[in-house]
Amino acid sequence: MALLEVEDVSKAFGSLKAVDGVSFKVEAGEIFGVAGPNGSGKSTLFNVITGIPFGPDRGRVKLGGVEIQGKSGNEIARLGLARTFQRETSFDGLTVFENALMGAGYGKPGRAESEVRERAAEALEFVGLTSVGFGRLAGELSVFDRKCLMLATAIAMEPRVLLLDEPASSLTKPEIETSIGLIRRTAERGITIVLIEHVLTFLMSLSQHLMVLNQGRVLAAGEPKTVIADERVVEAYLGTRRPAA
């Protein structure tokens, strides 16, 4: 059984079908890439899977075989699904350590404070935010460090599945390289990853499976090299078909 199963999920805004009958499965331990042109429904898909801020109009989402559509975002997170956002989100007025504590303590009311602190510190060190900077305000960090903090906070929640929404956006080339290594090591911790990204090289170097959306629908899915060579994918990205050989 796949760890995450999305079955015929749809979400409309008025007459706009942002996500239109999307189905896919993610196996435990894999990195599953999601690509697609602007406005193709990628972020909306993450929203409906996580219930933040809304679930699907129809369709089913199963985590470890348990249906989660219709549950609140909090409940879904407690069941083991965490996400990061396209834009860096953190509590800017709180310190780096306080932000990570929010993740480590989330949905675990019985956990001893010392253990919560240990989890938070470990997640921060893991993403490269060393204890020297634990007391800095999140709002003072660079874009890259803010992305690392968002990742650390999500990792501290100990999710089974982590959805990453454009982790490479606004990063420099060297930062993108660091980020690729970090995501790979996150998967090696046993966290299954679904990754939205515009930077195709980023997706190609990380994903075992790739799905391309266009206008809310699945355009192509499968082995990444085959998917990006698909004429429909080339056309959706470049707006033109390759000339016939």
Ligand X SMILES: Nc1ncnc2c1ncn2[C@@H]1O[C@H](COP(=O)(O)OP(=O)(O)OP(=O)(O)O)[C@@H](O)[C@H]1O
Residue 64-103 contact track with ligand X, rule CB under 6 A, x = bound: ----------------------x-----------------
Among residues 2, 23, 25, 43, which is the contact residue for ligand X, using CB under 6 A?
Answer: 43
Residue choice 21, 39, 73, 107 for contact with ligand X (CB under 6 A): 39
**Member of 9, 30, 36, 80 binding ligand X (CB under 6 A):** 36
Radius of gyration of the chain (CA): 18
- Asked whether position 41 contacts ligand X by CB under 6 A, the answer is yes
Per CB under 6 A, does 18 bind ligand X?
yes
**Strand pairing of 209-214 and 31-35?**
parallel
Distances (CA, A) of 240 to 173, 205, 216: 28, 25, 19
Cα-based distances in Å from 202 to 167, 179, 228:
10, 9, 13
How many chain residues touch ligand X (CB under 6 A)? 12
Where does this chain touch ligand X (CB under 6 A) — which range of 33-41, 68-76, 98-106, 129-137? Answer: 33-41
The residue among 10 and 44 lying less far from ligand X, judged by its C-beta, is: 44
* Interface residue with ligand X, options 6, 10, 22, 40 (CB under 6 A): 40
Residues 6+ apart with CB under 8 A from 225: 204
Look at residue 80 and give its three-state secondary structure: coil
Rounded least distance, CB 119 to ligand X, Å: 31
Write down the least CB distance from residue 168 to ligand X, Å. Answer: 12
Find out whether 157 and 119 touch, Cβ atoms under 8 Å.
no
User: How deeply is 49 buried, as exposed, middle or buried, from its count of CB atoms within 10 A (0-12, 13-18, 19+)?
Assistant: buried
Q: What residue has token string 């874009």?
A: 143
Tokens of 180: 């690729």
Site map 129..148 versus ligand X, x via CB under 6 A? --------------------
- Give the integer Cα–Cα distance in Å for 130 and 101: 15
Shorter beta-carbon distance to ligand X: residue 145 or 166: 166
Residue closer to ligand X (CB basis): 18 or 127: 18
Say whether 216 sits in a helix, a strand or coil.
coil
Q: Which residues bind ligand X (CB under 6 A)?
A: 13, 16, 18, 36, 38-44, 86
